[in-house]
Amino acid sequence: MTRYGPMYGPDVTLLGVPPCTVTEPVTYTDADVVIIGAPFDGGTSHRPGTRFGPSAIRQACYLPPDGSRPSLALRVDPLRDLCVYDAGDVEMFAGDIERSLAALESAVYAVASAGAIPVVLGGDHSIALPDATGVARRHGFGRVSLVHFDAHADTGDIEFGSLHGHGQPMRRLIESGAVRGDRFLQLGLRGYWPGPDTLAWMAAQRMRSYEMTELVARGLDACLSEAFGIATDGCGGVFLSVDVDVVDPGMAPGTGTPEPGGLTSRQLLDAVRRVCYELPVVGVDVVEVAPPYDHADITAYLGNRVVLEALSAIARRRRDAAGGSPWDPTQPLLDAR
The pTM of the full predicted model, rounded to 2 decimals, is 0.96
Cis peptide leading into residue 78 (ω within 30°): no
In the Cβ-directed half-sphere of 281, how many Cα atoms lie within 13 Å? 30
152 touches 202 (CB < 8 A): no
Comparing C-alpha atoms, which of 113, 89, 91 is closest to residue 25?
113
Other C-beta atoms lying within 10 Å of the C-beta of residue 46 = 10
Whether the link from the prior residue into 123 is cis, omega within 30° of 0, is: yes
d(C-alpha 169, C-alpha 257), whole Å: 16
3-state secondary structure of 144: strand
Positions of the chain with pLDDT under 70: 1-5
Q: How far is CA 101 from the centre of its chain?
A: 16
- C-beta atoms surrounding 222 within 10 Å: 12
- The Cα 21–Cα 298 span in angstroms is 30
pLDDT number for residue 91: 93
N residues, the chain: 337
